[in-house]
Structure 1
Amino acid sequence: MRHARDGATAAMNAASQVLVARGKVEPQELDHEGVQWGARAREGVWAATKDGNKIHLAIDAAAGDRAATVLRPSLRVFVGVDVDTDIVAQTTSDGIRLVTVVHGPEAPTAFRFPLTLSDGLALDPMPSGGFDVVNLRYGATVGRFYSPWACDSLFRPIRAFYEIEGSILVMRVQHEGAAYPVVADPHYSVAG
């Protein structure tokens, strides 16, 4: 348990340093009744949509299915989900964030998040690089994956973007030559 707690602390410190200095308003961490976390990375998270449906987003833990180190009900860390990679998972006032912390050049550049949508929901790509979750019956946006961003420890922007591979949301982070750690941010929100 000590190793997991030390790894969680290191991931939190790395993420905090970049997020604080980034200078943008960050989503507020808060319990949200529409969010339910699994205990392990591959169990992921269930999050509500505006129309009362659910989405399920898992973490493809290539290095093995990691248990969460729960720091508080709205904050958990999945240490070592891949080579040199941790994920700080946060419940926000309107959804979830999966702050991906890349610790070194051996880390992958593609991070896979298997996605399951309730029947009648679909993803609609947006010009910003994000995806709206759309209720097909009503044509209404009921959730949103904001376009991902990434930056390194010198607060330089790093190119990050989404691709869809079947039912997997793939975040690509081009961190070659970056000053580590690099922090990238998939963020899902219930459409307001």
Structure 2
Amino acid sequence: MEMKKRAATIAASLAIGVLTLSGVPAASAESDPTPGTQEVVEQATANAGVPAASTDGELDVVPATDATDGVTVQSDHLAPLTIPLPEGLSLDVAETTDSGSTIYPADRGSVDVAVEEVTQGVRVSTVLWDGSREAFSYSLPEGVAATPRPDGSLELTRTEVVEAEGVTAEVTASIGSIEPAWAIDADGVALGTEYDVTNGVITQTVDLAGAAFPVVADPTWAITSPVQVRIRFTRAETATIAGGGWHATGLTAVCAAAGASVAGPPGAAAFAAGCFLASGAMVYTAGVAQNSRPKRCLEQFMTFVPLSGAIIGVPWYGTYACR
């Protein structure tokens, strides 16, 4: 009897040992590996219902190896624009994924940044692996300003002083926008997020209360289509144009310089030709702006139309509220 009890005890011990050992690999097989940054971003964009990455647009997107150098966006009909990456994240050098995206991993593993080209723009996704950061700042390039819109997006404008034919003008062109911010957690839940613009710095803040990590926070920089550009003149310049202070040659020269600042050499030629042909309409509209109560300012829209291998500028003039 004693031998039977001892045998049963040994058998039970062996069985427990087998169950314990076999349970270790079984548990490991059921657990999913931690998803990579690219997978996290793709899932977040799907949950947010925003367009997937695309390289079908006309833009040439060049991410820098060093994150501090930002991302350069250009095209045949667009002056180069540098899109900044979030500041103060201690990001490592760029890594290119099989899908063509660029990942900047954080050297301490708390925040990564992914850059993807989308149709007519660039998406900069910040991946938060924990709750150590909830705000991210982007310093705008020199001469570029961001103005909030009612829908939560930001309009991007570039202001430059142009000089030609003895005429000096400060022109402001609409060069793009930053689409409304969004943030999605690991459970697909949308989190509260918004932009603040102060002294040339855009700050996106994310409400991480109750969030499941990783969280993806996203500003998408949409670049104005090179087929249409807007330029605004100041009140003083509007008054000068209305009074005939700039003759047709001066107007054409200023338009060429303004077009070059926005859309490079093709823009210069198209703007110059368009202004020369429509200088009378430009002066008339400036007069309408001057006679408005309160006074308004002249704005010019230029549509680029391909014609027989060349780019033709078709202008349209209007007025806008100004100080």
Q: CA deviation at 1:87?
A: 1.0
Partner of 1:5: none
Q: Does 1:76 align with 2:102?
A: yes
Change (3 A) 1:43 1:139: closer
Q: CA deviation at 1:157?
A: 1.2
Determine helix, strand or coil for the equivalent of 1:59: coil
Q: What letter matches 1:114 in structure 2?
A: S
Change (3 A) 1:146 1:63: closer
Partner of 1:171: 204
C-alpha distance in 2 between matches for 1:48 and 1:125: 24
Give deviations 1:126-165, integer Å, cap 9, x for gaps. 1122211135566653201111111112221101111123
Asked if the contact 2:84–2:140 (Cα under 8 Å) also holds between the matched residues in 1, the reply is yes
Asked if the contact 2:51–2:118 (Cα under 8 Å) also holds between the matched residues in 1, the reply is no
Q: Does 1:128 align with 2:154?
A: no
Determine helix, strand or coil for the equivalent of 1:80: coil
Q: CA deviation at 1:49?
A: 8.8
RMSD (CA atoms): 2.7
Partner of 2:71: 45
Q: Does 1:147 align with 2:180?
A: yes
C-alpha distance in 2 between matches for 1:128 and 1:51: 28
**If the length of structure 1 is used for normalisation, what is the TM-score?**
0.79
Asked if the contact 1:50–1:190 (Cα under 8 Å) also holds between the matched residues in 2, the reply is no
C-alpha distance in 2 between matches for 1:163 and 1:145: 12
Asked if the contact 2:91–2:105 (Cα under 8 Å) also holds between the matched residues in 1, the reply is no
Give deviations 1:55-76, integer Å, cap 9, x for gaps. 3232245342421111258410
Q: Does 1:99 align with 2:92?
A: no
Partner of 1:113: 138
Per mean C-alpha deviation after superposition, the further-off stretch among 81-90 and 144-153 is 81-90
Partner of 2:240: none
What are the equivalent positions in structure 2 for 1:60-71 lying under 5 Å apart?
Answer: 60-71=86-97
| Bigger Rg, which one | 2
Which residues of structure 1 form unaligned runs of 5+? 1-8
Determine helix, strand or coil for the equivalent of 2:41: helix
C-alpha distance in 2 between matches for 1:81 and 1:98: 18
C-alpha distance in 2 between matches for 1:174 and 1:29: 29
**If the length of structure 2 is used for normalisation, what is the TM-score?**
0.50
Identity value in percent: 20
Change (3 A) 1:83 1:160: farther
Per mean C-alpha deviation after superposition, the further-off stretch among 60-69 and 159-168 is 60-69
Determine helix, strand or coil for the equivalent of 1:147: coil
Determine helix, strand or coil for the equivalent of 2:106: strand
Comparing both chains, which one has the higher relative contact order based on Cα–Cα distances under 8 Å and sequence gaps of 6 or more?
Answer: 1
Asked if the contact 2:84–2:138 (Cα under 8 Å) also holds between the matched residues in 1, the reply is yes
Determine helix, strand or coil for the equivalent of 1:116: coil
Count of aligned residue pairs for this structure pair: 180
